[in-house]
Structure 1
Amino acid sequence: MMPAHEIKGALTFLREAERLKSVLRSGHTSTGRPESTAEHTWRLCLMAMLFADAFGDIDVARLLKICIVHDLGEALHGDVPAVAQSDGTDKAAQERADLEALTQPLDARRRAEILALWQDYDSGGSLEARLAKGLDKLETILQHNQGLNPADFDYAFNLGYGVKQTGVDPLLATIRTELEGETRARMAQQPSSQADI
């Protein structure tokens, strides 16, 4: 059984992590509501679970843990959409600092595990981390294609987004090809000049 002080620390951490439910992303749900980072993380984990056995000999639990913590640092200062990121900003450094602050209430072992999983994701050190990165990009593209987005939504962004990360595994590349077809279909439905790309 966990000691009482560790239980209290875990509950404090979970209360703070709940903020991720209110962090909005640039994509929209199929009902037109802005998607939260927590919702993105949930479906990323579902994707990882569904495709895990096709990746061969991997540590599925590690893959899922990495997916769970990959955007946890956004709970404090929010998400910076890929289209809004610039070369001068260090999104990873901000997320790492926020994750360090967020995990303060945890006992040393649990805190170290979360920080190590996030670091692995950020650096792409393990196969599981690289798969998580690829799946993360694919889940974003899937949501962009599925969402009830504003009329001026830039579907063309999907075509170049995460190409490197989705090229690390044949299954990821196959899924990407399928989603690119969906992206082009969404672009063709738009009345704007984006359909000409």
Structure 2
Amino acid sequence: MARGSRERIITGAVGMLARGGTKHTSVRKLAEQAGTPLGSTYYYFPDGMAQLVNEAVEHAGGQVTSALECALAAGPLRGLSGLIGWWRRILVASEFEEGCPVLSIAVTESRNGPTQQAVESASRVFRQWSEALVDSLVLHGVERDRAEEVATLTVCSIEGSVGVCRAEGSTRALDHVESMLVRAIADALPEEERP
């Protein structure tokens, strides 16, 4: 039971971060949403909001990393399609209210503030996503230096486009990014690996 309550609080924090960052994340609201007493949040997260936000970033990052690695098993182009499709579904289903909780922390929190550990976790998560793409590209014949450039371009483009999609209330930016990233990845692949 305790483990379930703790996980519900973390999952709730991921959702709140995705919708509004730490300024809209409240321990009281999280406890209510998880159906746990307010005091239990301090039991599960003795270091308070900073610990909770960090664990939410790690949780969200791990979920995306797992989904990305599964999608990339079919190759870099199919992996890209799977990742973009995943984001498209989240944006549309949330009526463009949810973005990336990892990016939310990276752009709103200080590397020297109380949520420093969460910002460091966000940095690690972005590297994990890039490394998963690099590994897939290298496996399919792309030289490592080029694979690192394409992976960085991919992660940064998708993350940025999700923010633009939220602001516009449309998938237009993500659709355009997908089109350009397909070209960038296809151009990086050896001829025999291209569609």
Scaled by the length of structure 2, the TM-score of the pair is 0.29
More strand by share: 1
